[in-house]
Structure formats: structure tokens, C-alpha cells
Structure 1
Amino acid sequence: MNCSLCSGSTSWFYNFRNMDYYKCGACSSVFLHPKYFLSSDEEKARYEEHNNCVDDKGYQKFVSPIVNAVKERFSIDARGLDFGAGTGPVITKLLSDEGFSLELYDPFFWNNPEVLESTYDFIVCCEVIEHFKDPLKEFKLLRSLLNPGGVLYCMTEVYSEDRDFEKWHYKNDATHVFFYHKDAFKWIKDNLKFSRLDINGRLIELER
């Protein structure tokens, strides 16, 4: 089986709850075998369990790295997209309060395909990319939606070899199917022709 991001060769890595995970020998990422993916209905039901209230102060603090990065880089006349906005689009709420304009897209909760026909100065993608069942397809789409010089802001937990995968809470969510190593983001930058990559903890910036 080849990696669903970079097409590198993979090997069996771990079994959790009778589900098999594989590791890519090229980009070093870890991913769930597709035969264990939830159905769309199961996936949506899991997301509906999330208690993502836009007015929750803890939730607002959690997304603050993306909010602050956008505010530092762009003025309010920049056009943004909240991709994978979920049930509580708190980033859009916080940036809108500052005067920014964002469109919302989520295949389950904001299924507005028309917004994918425009381009944007920035895209925010918070706790979304680990859900990508076809990460190469999704990152190609995201790059195509950026204007030249535009920035894709992602937040996720980055996998590394020093993590104890058995104890890593991030894998326990059945909707988390792809865990990116820093080498995976380097591969995305180089192969999808982004001009800049910056990894700062959970915050990843890819500039077109």
C-alpha cells in the first residue's frame, strides 16, 4: 500500500482497537488503513458530539494562534476562507469581530460548494487536515484556492518519532485518519509548489 499523500512505500506500524495503522517510509507520516474509515453518517455523528460554542473562552484561546497569525499578516480587506469550519466556526467569529470577511465551507455543516469557485488571500484550517482521507487531493484543492502570496494556516498535532503512539491521545478519535510528520509538510511545500513553510508547534503556515 502506498502513502495517500506522497505515494511512498509504507509498512505496518500499529494496531489500535483492531484497526491497523501504517507508516510512510518517505514522508514519515502515519495513517489509518482506509478499510477502517467511518462512513459519512458515522463521521458526521461524531462531529455533532463536539461542543464547539463560538463564545467559549477556552475554545477561543485554543484557536488564537491562527487568529493572531492572520491579524499579523493581513489587513481587514483580505478575503478569507474557513475550510472545515465545523459546527462552531469560532475563527470566523473572532476575525469577523475584527472586521475581516470570511466564507465558510464544511462538507457536513457548511456545504457551500460555490465558495470553492473563488480564490482567497488566506485559508484557515483548524483541526481539519488530520481528517483528510485523501490528503493529496485536499491540499491540491487548498493551494488552488489561494491567491498568489496567499497563506494556508493549519492547526494539527504533528507526529514525530519521539511520540509514544500507544499513549498518544490524538489517535483515539476515530475521525483522525492521517498524522503528518514535519517531513510530510516539507513534501507538500516542495511538490505542491508552496513558496514558504513555517511550523511553529501546532501551527503550520504554507504560503503560495
Structure 2
Amino acid sequence: MSMLCPLCQHIDPQHYHQDKRRHYFQCPQCKLVFADPAALLPASAEKQIYDQHQNNPDDLGYRKFLNRLAAPLLLRLPLQQQGLDFGCGPGPTLSLMLADAGHEMALYDPYFVPDRSPLKQQYDFVTCTEAIEHFYQPRREWHLLLNLIRPGGYLGIMTKLVRNKDAFAQWHYKNDPTHVSFFSEATFRYLAKQHNLRLEILGNDIILLQKSA
């Protein structure tokens, strides 16, 4: 049975890289690089790794890191908008920063804030920082993210971008066993075209997408 791309469902992704832990494949259509599905961790092991993350809202260094997304997003948002921090992790911080700027924030994380009721409404903006690379089913999650955003609203993503095969081979980012879906500029250009989104890529890991009004 042929393998399908977990993001765009294109048939027959190609071998991209292999290390001691797992194989990686790349979709010829959307250019997503993804780990071999056979190597995906069970939920209990994945959660155990996340529990080791030290995301402290009082950590000024962590706030500075997140501000690389918050600052450009805030420049584009009108006042007093409604937002959702999707995949907020064990120490929600970006949501506090955006709330301090006057926005109403909701939280969702499948492990740490698993109440799905915030997923039943739409928002003026959704943030997804250092989370999209963890998606086991990126197609499902991508459509969920888009459906959460009102017309004209923003999706703000932070994730390291795939550059090329040589860089990938040396890339520490792939060594985290919970990192399984690796996006590139080409992937986001494909998604923006497919869904009529305005795309801005700021630096090597900040992606802003705006839904058409």
C-alpha cells in the first residue's frame, strides 16, 4: 500500500533522510518532510517528554523568544481582539503577553489544557508556537486551525523551517523524537495558495498567515 503525505494526501512521498532513530520522507507536492509513521511515539512517551519542558511565564528569556512572534502579530491586530493559543504547553506565556496587550485569550493544549470547548468557536487570531512540528496528523490539525479563524483573521506560527537535505542532516531540530512534521517556506506557500491566505515569513521561524475577509 502506498504511503500518503500526512498533510496534503499526495501519493508516494520520497525518501529524504535516515538517521539512527528513524527515516524521513518528503512530499513532492507540498514539500512537507515527515518522520516515518512507524517511529511515532505513543502518547504516554510523548507526554513524558513534554513534562520535562521548563516554560515559565516569569522567564524573561522565554518571553523575549516568544516576542519574536508576538511583536509582529500585535502590529497587525486591531485593539481588543479575541485569540486562541493552540498548543500552549505546560506554562502558557504567549497568551499572557497578548492579554497584557489588551486581547482576550483562550487556551488549548491536548495534554495540558485538554478542554476542547474553546475549539467550538472562532477567533480573530490563533497562535501556534513550537507546536506544529509535533503534529502527528498535520492535515487534520491544519484544517482545524483554519476553521478556528474568522474571515480576515490571523494565524501566527513559530516553527523552524527545513532548508535543504544537507542542512537537515546536521539539524538538531529533527533530533527531538516528538518533532515529526517539518515545514518549509515551500510548504507554507503551498498551503497559502490552496487556502487563499496572505503569507508573510519573518526570519527563519516566524510565519504569519491572514485569512481572506
Q: CA deviation at 1:163?
A: 4.9
> What pairs up with 1:21-36 in 2 under 5 angstroms?
21-36=24-39
Q: Is structure 2 residue 172 aligned with structure 1 residue 169?
A: yes
Q: CA deviation at 1:26?
A: 1.7
> What one-letter code is carried by the residue in structure 2 that aligns with 1:155?
M
Whole-Å Cα distance in 1 between the matches of residues 122 and 7 of structure 2?
Answer: 23
8 Å CA contact retained: 2:123, 2:149: yes
8 Å CA contact retained: 1:30, 1:178: yes
Whole-Å Cα distance in 2 between the matches of residues 91 and 163 of structure 1?
Answer: 33
- TM-score calculated relative to the size of structure 2: 0.93
**Selected match of 1:55 from 46, 58, 62:** 58
Q: How many residues align?
A: 207
Q: CA deviation at 1:119?
A: 0.4
Q: Is structure 2 residue 173 aligned with structure 1 residue 186?
A: no
The percent identity for this pair of structures is: 38
> What pairs up with 1:4-43 in 2 under 5 angstroms?
4-8=6-10, 9-43=12-46
> What pairs up with 1:125-164 in 2 under 5 angstroms?
125-161=128-164, 163-164=166-167
8 Å CA contact retained: 1:194, 1:206: no
2:87 maps to: 84
Structure 1: gaps of 5 or more residues: none
Deviations 1:121-141 (A, max 9, x none): 000100010011111111111
Aligned-residue CA RMSD (Å): 1.3
- TM-score calculated relative to the size of structure 1: 0.95
SS at structure 1 position matched to 2:168? coil
2:109 maps to: 106
Structure 2: gaps of 5 or more residues: none
8 Å CA contact retained: 1:122, 1:152: yes
Q: CA deviation at 1:195?
A: 2.8
8 Å CA contact retained: 2:17, 2:165: no
8 Å CA contact retained: 1:83, 1:125: yes
Deviations 1:69-89 (A, max 9, x none): 232112342000000000111
SS at structure 2 position matched to 1:185? helix
> What one-letter code is carried by the residue in structure 1 that aligns with 2:113?
W
> What one-letter code is carried by the residue in structure 1 that aligns with 2:109?
D
8 Å CA contact retained: 1:6, 1:187: no
Residues 163 and 197 of structure 1, relative CA distance in 2, 3 Å threshold: farther
> What one-letter code is carried by the residue in structure 1 that aligns with 2:82?
R
Deviations 1:173-196 (A, max 9, x none): 1000011121111121122x2330
SS at structure 2 position matched to 1:133? coil
